[in-house]
A and B are shown apart, each in its own frame.
Chain A
Amino acid sequence: MRTVEEQGGARAWRLRAAATPYALLVPALVALAAVSIYPIFYGVRASFHKYRYGIDMGSAGKQNYVDVFHDPVFWQAMKTTAKYVVVAVPIETLLGLGLALLVARELRYANWIRVTLILPMTIAPVVVGVIWRLLYASDIGVVNPLFEKLGLGTPNVLANENTAFLGVVAVDVWEWTPLLFLIILAGLTSLPQDPLEAAQVDGASRLQAFFHHTLPLLKPVLLVAITLRTIDAVGTFDQIFVLTAGGPGTSTQLISIYAYNTAFLFTQYGQAMAMLVVLLACLLVLMWAAVRFMRRTSQATT
């Protein structure tokens, strides 16, 4: 026979059991909101305010957006950022794919090779900037002497608008090809082996096997990798801050650098936030497109 208390206890127990997962989630959700929802709300609000000497002077309507849209330097920074991503990410993907194909086999010292190849992506981007500044420096570096030995003159990479852009892209490639390599390698090792063996038995050439079997199977992994890298590349800041701070001219001034300068050097928080809201909108569109694309391809393959 159950007493009334026992019944009540059971209900409380069941309630507690039902509440447990939500209780477990609360700290994490608070933490996540603190670094996502709150900053976005704050940023959007600040983008409609006027700041003078760093002090909030009240609402500015849409003036910050008007100013930003009429600012040629902003558009140039957006263009430079787009160019940066469009040049760097495909190179990184191709090199990463090539290296992954080379490493995805029985190799001596496989673990050492992999650790070495991914070392560039593990160290701080600030240190990457330092390293390449030392290599590029026109008087103490090795890039100038190397080009001179090859009879290509002295490029002074960071001192010239065209070469500086290529120079920072090269740094990005050096640093982040390992990421693509790593993701693609993981994708390759988890592929089912049957189709390939079958293809080889069928006498298809290795190239055909790669294009007809491996690549389609790798497509989802490649998509994820490219999306992740693109999002990160759009926000690139640290290495550029160290290498060129956006110069020479405005040739390497990515949007993150310009927004940073606008906020912290010229103390125009409102305008800086307007720029970042525009950037965020672009990122969300990009993300949405990537997710849709992924869904479509996964539907197509299944």
Chain B
Amino acid sequence: MGGGAFHAAHVTGNHMSPARRRVAAVAVYGTLGLAMVIALFPFWWMIVTSLKQPVDIFAGVALWPQHITLHNYGRLIHEYHFDSYLINSIVIVTASVAFSLVIGTLAAYALARFRLRFGVDRLSLYAVLLVRMLPGILLVVPLYIVLAKWGLLNTRLGLILIYTCLNTSFVIWMMQSFLEDIPRDIEEAAMVDGDSRLSALRRVVIPLAAPGLIATAIFAVIATYNEFIIALTLTSTPSAQTVPVGVSTLIGKIQIEWGPMAAAGVVGALPIVLFALLVQRHFVRGLTLGAVK
């Protein structure tokens, strides 16, 4: 990417008078400010509601909590097993993203570097696209049957396996294009020096593809952490249920507890928001590449 100059010319174009430029700047920042408020206010409302006492929740609009309480968060741990949900999510996301990065990168390497016969390359591509396209609802019943046969229903391992398979799809998709950008000469040089194909991949190619791996991992972490319908169907107790499923348990058919529900929403969103801040510079790029590639 290197199109910065285009934009500079496009907007702060030299034909504009300073006054017009200032008006334009106000309009641009004003519109963006409004868009940011629209993007952020709903989060704020959830946070405020989660800090209110039950009586205050029903006492009319207050954009600031009157009597701040962490009671709702305490209830999440004591009554609703959110400690278990968080741990399950962390374990499942970490393991399945790691596995799929390995499996998917190897496959992407094969697709990027070799001429494959029997139409294998095209087949792989179709499979990748198909997985990307299938709605989750179509997967749950068949997957349920398999996991039931293997005794993996309601286990973390069952979800790890399925998420690994699903993530493999876009790991291949993203990593293939990253690997294609790495010149062949470098690894061929390493192989001349006596490395085998795999050790050249490990020692030379992977470090060069690290930015791509990070971008892919970011995308995979978010997609896996957020997945709902499969986790909802294949788990039934807090020993394996993930955070989104935990959040949905608070939306009773019989009763809604607004305070804990808001707190659950905050807890559900927090890991991703923290993650976004932690890898801030890579975050936008990772998501962009995941969406575009």
Q: Does B136 contact A (CB under 8 A)?
A: yes
Q: CB-defined interface of B207-222 with A at 8 Å, one 1/0 digit per residue?
A: 0000000000000001
Stretch at the interface among A85-93, A106-114, A153-161: A106-114
Binding-face segment, B66-74, B181-189, B225-233: B225-233
Q: Is A130 located at the chain interface by the 8 A CB criterion? A: yes
Q: Does A131 contact B (CB under 8 A)?
A: yes
Contact of A21 among B110, B247, B289 (CB under 8 A): B110
In the complex with contacts A31-B164, A134-B258, A105-B141 CB distance below 8 A = no
- Interface segment out of the listed B5-13, B75-83, B151-159: B5-13
Q: Which of B46, B111, B233 contacts A134 (CB 8 A)?
A: B46
Minimum C-beta distance from B237 to chain A (A) = 17
Q: How far is the CB of B40 from chain A (nearest CB, A)?
A: 6
In Å, the complex CA distance between A40 and B166 comes to 15
The answer to whether B287 and A105 touch across the interface, beta carbons within 8 angstroms, is no
Q: When the two chains form the complex, which single residue of A36, A104, A118 contacts B130, counting CB atoms closer than 8 Å?
A: A36
Complex CA distance for A234 and B10, rounded to whole angstroms: 37
Complex contact B265–A131 (CB within 8 A): yes
A22 touches B120 (CB 8 A): yes
A32 and B139 CA atoms in complex are apart in Å by 12
**B288 touches which one: A31, A185, A283 (CB < 8 A)?**
A185
A182 with B288, Cβ < 8 A, contacts A36-B134, A140-B258 known: yes
Most chain A CB within 10 A, of B109, B131, B265, B283, is at B265
List, in ascending order, chain B residues with CB within 8 A of A119's CB: 39-40, 43, 273, 276
Q: How far is the CB of B152 from chain A (nearest CB, A)?
A: 13
B133 partner residues in chain A, CB cutoff 8 A: 231, 283, 287
Whether B124 is near chain A, meaning CB under 8 Å from some CB there, is yes
Q: Do A127 and B268 touch across chains, with their CB atoms under 8 A apart? A: yes
Chain B residues near A24: list those with CB within 8 A.
Answer: 106-107, 109-110
Q: How far is the CB of B203 from chain A (nearest CB, A)?
A: 17
Using A113-B36, A117-B39, A182-B287 as known contacts, say yes or no to A193 and B9 having CB atoms under 8 A apart. Answer: yes
- What's the minimum C-beta distance from A47 to chain B, rounded to whole angstroms? 11
Decide if A27 touches B143 in the complex (CB within 8 Å).
no
User: Which of chain A's residues have a CB closer than 8 A to the CB of B131?
Assistant: 32, 35-36
Q: Kindly list chain B residues whose C-beta atoms are within 8 Å of the C-beta of A117.
A: 32, 35-36, 39
**CA–CA, A116 and B35, complex, Å:** 9
Closest to B245 in A: A126
B127 and A263 form a contact (CB under 8 A): no
Q: Does B192 contact A (CB under 8 A)?
A: no
Interface residue from B12, B45, B288 paired with A183 (Cβ < 8 Å) = B288
Q: How far is the CA of A139 from the CA of B61 in the complex (A)?
A: 9
Is there a chain A Cβ closer than 8 Å to B1's Cβ?
yes
Chain A contributes a number of interface residues (CB within 8 A of B) equal to 99
Select from chain A the residue with minimum beta-carbon distance to B275.
Answer: A122
Say yes or no: is A215 at the interface (Cβ < 8 Å to chain B): no
Contact B137 A105, beta carbon cutoff 8 Å: no
Q: Are A28 and B288 in contact (CB under 8 A)?
A: no
Chain B residues in 8 Å Cβ range of A259: 137
**Which of B32, B35, B46, B103 contacts A31, CB < 8 Å?**
B103
Contact of A124 among B104, B134, B145, B244 (CB under 8 A): B244
For A180, give the chain B residue with the smallest CB separation. Answer: B291
| Chain A CB within 8 A of B88 CB | no
Interface residues of A in 282-302 (CB under 8 A from B): 283, 287
Residues of B near A31 (CB, < 8 A) are 100, 103, 164-165, 168
Closest chain A residue, CB of each to CB of B42 = A131
A43, B142: Cβ atoms closer than 8 Å: yes
What residues of chain B lie closer than 8 Å to A22, measured between beta carbons?
110, 116, 120
Collect the chain B residues with CB atoms within 8 Å of residue A178's CB. 39
Determine how close the nearest CB of chain B comes to the CB of A169; give it in whole angstroms.
Answer: 15
Q: Assuming A130-B268, A135-B42, A237-B135, is B197 touching A17 (CB within 8 A)?
A: yes
| Residue ID in chain B nearest A260 by CB atoms | B137
Contacts of A7-26 to chain B: CB distance below 8 A: 17, 20-22, 24-25
User: Within 8 Å of chain A (Cβ to Cβ): is B264?
Assistant: yes
A65 within 8 A of partner (CB): no
Interface: A97 (CB within 8 A):
no
Interchain CB contact under 8 A, A142 and B45 = yes
Q: Is the CB of A124 within 8 A of B243?
A: yes
A235 to chain B, nearest CB (A): 3
Complex A-B, nearest 8 residue pairs according to Cβ-Cβ distance, in ascending order? A235-B135, A193-B6, A28-B107, A42-B142, A21-B110, A21-B114, A124-B226, A130-B265
23 contacts between A and B (CB under 8 A): A17-B197, A20-B197, A21-B110, A21-B111, A22-B116, A22-B120, A28-B172, A32-B128, A32-B165, A35-B134, A35-B166, A36-B130, A39-B139, A43-B141, A104-B7, A123-B226, A123-B272, A127-B268, A137-B258, A182-B288, A183-B291, A190-B1, A238-B229
